[in-house]
Structure 1
Amino acid sequence: MAKFANSPFLFFEAKSHISRLQINVRLGPKSPGEKGIGFLGEKMVKLFLSEPTPGDDGDGSPSKESISLLQKLESIICSVITSGGRSEARLWLCTTISCISSITHDQHELFIDLLRSKSQKLAIAAQVLQMIFNKRPQKVGSIIAKKGYMLEKFFEGNPERILQWFGNFAGVGESEHRKGARAISQFAFVNRDICWDELEWKGKHGQSPAMVATKPHYFLDLDVLRTVENFLENVPDFWSSDELAESLKDGEILNIDERFFIDQFVHLMYEDKSEDVWAVVYGFLAEEQFSFLCQHLLILLDEQMLHAFLSSLSKLLPPRPKCKDFSSPSYWLESLLSTCNDCASIDELLLLNAVINQGRQLLRLMDDDEHGEEKGKIEELLSESGMTLSDAGHWALMKACTKMKKAVAMKWLGLQSWVVHYSLSKECKTASACELLFIRNGISFRKSDDHSLVQPDGFSDGSGFDFDDGGSVRYGHKKKAKRKKRRKKNYSGDDSSGDELLELEMLSGWRGLQSGGGSWLLSTDAYSCSWNSADLPEHLAKHCFSMWMKWVCSKWRSTA
């Protein structure tokens, strides 16, 4: 045992028993001046994932100090958000809103209200129309086909648009003309008595209807630009004809100049109050996914309108959100909106969302040069104040949260989970550090490329080691009696080979802890996703928040 006795990492006391060999492991420093493994020492990040035991749930006295420190942290983070990062924080909040899944009906009324606003309705209408043009152009094409004056305005004095739409006659070997070219040819044949003379040809002489009917490729000799200009001036019936309407019904004409048609349709909505256009808009807002609409429209809103939108949204949510997954990005917001009479202020919502959902982005934002002062303040606060709570301090804070308004309780727990994120981002640098963190916080795991499951005691199933109730490592019963007898003999004698064998066995048991990289499947999400050391701080911080909120919510329900 000489090598282990001098190890700065683990210290063993070997005790001989009649039935088995027991090795007691003491985790931490061997003496006051000696260093142990970082995560096994006193400063290891505690996640508080299990409910408190009767002696751990605190008496409330440490909560005031904890909240005072969290208030200081809140002030610093708010300074970052309100200075250079406010627009980004608002984008984060819009993304969270888009994840809400509890709305089952009347969602279009939320967005119709935006289209009726005084200040931003034109910009919002333009964006809605843009989405309709992209996703349902045929709905728009049928309306354009009825607006001959709009088409005349679109083509008049614009040779490029004329050639793009009407210059698509079929060549030799091609079956038919396309787009506006098909409309001109069909209309000209049907109405040849009144409009054939308006066709302009590039050759020395024109083509007769009979000749072009047998050889459609002769239309390639048509002077498209001059012909369309003649139709604009002398053939008004063409612009409201069935032939032209048929070519427009798929909405492909929108691709030539979407901005022109957006402006025209905005005019139809607010000046002409066109029922046809509003019907298309209503249908689109009612049928499209809520998440898609939020992602494309909410970012256009100023903060006053965004807050009003959330207030209206709260009226459409069920009293208790259908989503029971506390780790869902939007659960905290759904819970808050559905149970609070007054929606929290926009500043409070930006802060809550930043610390609960955007921990990594918040850290990245603080790494910007312009936020160097705030970053320094946070590092000083977290390093000097000991914000990684003790058991008593954490559960005192939790108990205090059960007596607060929901928005306030969420804020403190969200800030505390961000402290976890910050601390883990500093500590989870190596595979061994991560795996020791899992063990000390009761998280079962396995390497994503390995099928062996490592239990919270730190050893994989079938590894041959386990913890007894006293915190010691036992050599398992699965080994053969012969091998056990040999090891016992070697240990009791003076032969150093016994020490070497025991050392090899221990190193084998800790192989997972000393691995040098990779990713893990964790019990925190039922082993559904592979997490690497870069992603762990965010995942575990969110998991902490969800577990803490479950506990606080259970106390709210029990006292309701």
Structure 2
Amino acid sequence: MVQLYLSKPVADASGDGDLVEGRLSLLQRLESIIWSIITLGGRYEARLWLCNTISCIQCITSRNQCELFRELLRSKPAKHDVAAQLLRMILEKSPGEIGPVIAKKSYLLEKFFEGNPRRILLWFDNFASVGESGHKKGARALSQFAFVNRDMCWEELEWKGSHGQSPAVVATKPHYFHDLDVLHTVENFLEYVPDFWSSHELAESLRDGEIFKIDTQYFVDQFIKLLYEENFKELWAAVEKFLTEEQYSYLCQHLLVLLDEHELLAFLKSVSKYIFAGVQHKDFGYPSGWLEYLLSTSSDMTLNELFLLNAVISHGRKLLHLLSDEEHAEENGRLEELLRTASMFSDADHWALIRECMRMQKKVAIKWAGLHSWALHYCLSKECKTRESCESIFIKNGIGFQKADDYTLINNDGYQEIYGSGADDKGSRRTGGQKRKRDKKKRRRNKNDHEEWNSDGLEDFKTLNGQETLKLEERSWLLSTDGYSCSWHIADLPEHLARYCFLTWMKWIYSKW
């Protein structure tokens, strides 16, 4: 049975010092095994997990995030790959922010269409048919410019028929533009009508940024040159506006994965400037809490230390899943042997370990607590297989629980109470008793009509009103660990309980810092 060490010993209790040293030695060996898992995959998974945790940091303001990523884009050497990814994000989510920018660079538009019939037809061959409301995209710009400047450019319009169309006729019958030879007309405009490419009409057609869909990579490449070779202020302003308004987590998840390890560590050091020093143990409950605490208190963190801490504290479940891969069979065997031969120790012994951690550097203490909690995560994943095994763990470790589909609260001593407020004890007992009688009748009826019971006392599947319900092994519980506020499924219990242990221990350790 897994012991979670959630109780402080009585005041005069003292643990075995030799067991503390032995436990630290065990955690060191566990650290070595986890490092083998991380490095075997080229550290890619660990870097990806850390980027995910960084994206969860909560204290970064909109202004902060703009400064962070602007600093990243302007660092030396220039981060062209990061800038290119960011530009793709802008063109996908907010193309209208850059649409007006491209209109100010007419030579880029001319270059875009020159010698490329496909692009010309996709943008300009969008004239309205009979009954349609109006021309679209470049066709609208071409027709409007041609009418306004008909004395200058009407003769450059090429028609498919035996004769051309006059402005007066086309003005009354706009669908006649369907007879326009779009390809040759645009080629004429490229050669003989340069004013069109810097015109208000064309700029208006570009405003929504739909043109970027024709060839996104072309525009990304051109925008990179505008940013870094021309330092084009209008484009930088659009980029900074996006960096300010977009979600911090979205920016991190799409941009940080492009950084190498040196760049990622530099980014983290920049992040630390925006984290206030008041982060406490109570803030460790969300994925990045421990990271924010260390960034605000430790200036000498290495990426290796962060990889390890992040893996066992914030991504223990993913680490466990990675361990199950065939390529990690050797590490899995070493881990099983290590934790199987580890001697169990008492709450007093664990408290002695906590006192030892109080004398360590913050990052070292957090590492031992994180490794120990992940070891429990591993053991719980082996133990939490049935309803009975889970509830035995709750009772052994003083965790109150309530079945999510029941109203009976199990106290930390294993005794049942009627769970509910707003009714007196007598009314509550009567209501609970009546419900148990109804449930008993329902179970008896379902058993007779639909199901058989397995030899271990667990249901297979129940059928009720033609629908299958979850196996009893897959039931969920409300727990005292979070004030009975969330329903915890059996598959999620190992991670939740391990995290609760870590938070509890950090509270004890933090109280002495």
Task: Name the CA distance, whole Å, in 2 between partners of 1:199 and 1:167.
Answer: 13
- The answer (yes or no) to whether the contact 2:113–2:120 under 8 Å persists in 1 is yes
Once the two structures are superposed, residues 422-446 of structure 1 have per-residue CA deviations (whole angstroms, 9 ceiling, x without a partner) of 1001111100100111111121211
**Structure (1 or 2) with the greater helix fraction:** 2
Distance 1:360 1:85, change over 3 A: farther
Match of 1:529 in 2: 486
Counterpart code for 1:445:
F
Unpaired segments of 5 or more residues in structure 2?
420-428, 431-456, 460-470
- Percent of aligned pairs with the same amino acid: 62
Once the two structures are superposed, residues 229-268 of structure 1 have per-residue CA deviations (whole angstroms, 9 ceiling, x without a partner) of 1111111000000000010011111111111111111000
Counterpart code for 2:328:
H
The correspondence of residues 529-548 of structure 1 with structure 2, limited to 5 A, is 529-548=486-505
Match of 1:154 in 2: 112
Match of 2:339 in 1: 382
Once the two structures are superposed, residues 102-131 of structure 1 have per-residue CA deviations (whole angstroms, 9 ceiling, x without a partner) of 123433222122112334610011111112
2:157 pairs with 1:206: no
Distance 1:323 1:54, change over 3 A: closer
Match of 2:259 in 1: 301
SS of match in other structure, 2:276: coil
Unpaired segments of 5 or more residues in structure 1?
1-43, 464-477, 480-509
Task: Name the CA distance, whole Å, in 1 between partners of 2:282 and 2:90.
Answer: 34
More displaced 10-residue stretch of structure 1: 107-116 or 306-315:
107-116
SS of match in other structure, 2:211: helix
Task: Name the CA distance, whole Å, in 2 between partners of 1:301 and 1:125.
Answer: 12
Task: Name the CA distance, whole Å, in 2 between partners of 1:338 and 1:59.
Answer: 34
Q: Which one of 427, 431, 443 corresponds to residue 399 of structure 2?
A: 443
Q: Which one of 358, 361, 366 corresponds to residue 323 of structure 2?
A: 366
Distance 1:227 1:394, change over 3 A: same
Q: Which one of 342, 365, 368 corresponds to residue 409 of structure 1?
A: 365
Counterpart code for 2:53:
T
Task: Name the CA distance, whole Å, in 1 between partners of 2:286 and 2:118.
Answer: 51
Distance 1:255 1:511, change over 3 A: closer
Q: Which one of 208, 215, 218 corresponds to residue 250 of structure 1?
A: 208
Match of 1:484 in 2: none
Runs of 4+ in 1 over 6 A off after TM superposition: none
The correspondence of residues 271-282 of structure 1 with structure 2, limited to 5 A, is 271-282=229-240
Task: Name the CA distance, whole Å, in 1 between partners of 2:105 and 2:42.
Answer: 46
More displaced 10-residue stretch of structure 1: 270-279 or 239-248:
270-279
Distance 1:194 1:546, change over 3 A: same
2:421 pairs with 1:459: no
Match of 1:52 in 2: 9
When Rg is computed on C-alpha atoms for both structures, the one with the higher figure is 1
Task: Name the CA distance, whole Å, in 1 between partners of 2:476 and 2:404.
Answer: 6
Once the two structures are superposed, residues 410-466 of structure 1 have per-residue CA deviations (whole angstroms, 9 ceiling, x without a partner) of 110000001100100111110010011111112121122222222212233149xxx
Task: Name the CA distance, whole Å, in 1 between partners of 2:361 and 2:486.
Answer: 34
2:512 pairs with 1:555: yes
SS of match in other structure, 1:101: coil
Task: Name the CA distance, whole Å, in 1 between partners of 2:245 and 2:473.
Answer: 51
Once the two structures are superposed, residues 14-52 of structure 1 have per-residue CA deviations (whole angstroms, 9 ceiling, x without a partner) of xxxxxxxxxxxxxxxxxxxxxxxxxxxxxx211122333
Counterpart code for 1:533:
I
- The answer (yes or no) to whether the contact 2:281–2:503 under 8 Å persists in 1 is no
Counterpart code for 1:122:
H
Task: Name the CA distance, whole Å, in 1 between partners of 2:29 and 2:297.
Answer: 28
- The answer (yes or no) to whether the contact 2:403–2:476 under 8 Å persists in 1 is yes
Taking only aligned residues, the RMSD between alpha carbons, in angstroms, comes to 2.1
Match of 1:494 in 2: none
Structure 1 residue 306 displacement after superposition: 0.6
2:150 pairs with 1:192: yes
SS of match in other structure, 2:49: helix
Task: Name the CA distance, whole Å, in 2 between partners of 1:121 and 1:389.
Answer: 52
- The answer (yes or no) to whether the contact 1:430–1:516 under 8 Å persists in 2 is yes
Distance 1:265 1:79, change over 3 A: same
- The answer (yes or no) to whether the contact 1:521–1:531 under 8 Å persists in 2 is yes
Distance 1:511 1:140, change over 3 A: closer
Task: Name the CA distance, whole Å, in 2 between partners of 1:511 and 1:272.
Answer: 71
Counterpart code for 1:439:
I
Counterpart code for 1:418:
W
- The answer (yes or no) to whether the contact 1:102–1:321 under 8 Å persists in 2 is no
Counterpart code for 2:47:
R
- The answer (yes or no) to whether the contact 2:281–2:507 under 8 Å persists in 1 is no
Q: Which one of 71, 83, 88 corresponds to residue 125 of structure 1?
A: 83
Match of 2:41 in 1: 84
- The answer (yes or no) to whether the contact 1:60–1:400 under 8 Å persists in 2 is no
Structure 1 residue 140 displacement after superposition: 0.4
Structure 1 residue 150 displacement after superposition: 0.5
- The answer (yes or no) to whether the contact 1:138–1:249 under 8 Å persists in 2 is yes
Task: Name the CA distance, whole Å, in 1 between partners of 2:308 and 2:90.
Answer: 34
Structure 1 residue 515 displacement after superposition: 5.8
Task: Name the CA distance, whole Å, in 1 between partners of 2:134 and 2:19.
Answer: 83
Once the two structures are superposed, residues 59-79 of structure 1 have per-residue CA deviations (whole angstroms, 9 ceiling, x without a partner) of 644321111110011011001
Task: Name the CA distance, whole Å, in 1 between partners of 2:130 and 2:489.
Answer: 61
Match of 1:93 in 2: 50
- The answer (yes or no) to whether the contact 1:151–1:239 under 8 Å persists in 2 is yes
2:28 pairs with 1:71: yes
Task: Name the CA distance, whole Å, in 2 between partners of 1:264 and 1:236.
Answer: 20
More displaced 10-residue stretch of structure 1: 403-412 or 450-459:
450-459
Task: Name the CA distance, whole Å, in 2 between partners of 1:540 and 1:120.
Answer: 45
Once the two structures are superposed, residues 361-392 of structure 1 have per-residue CA deviations (whole angstroms, 9 ceiling, x without a partner) of 11111111211111111111111123x54223
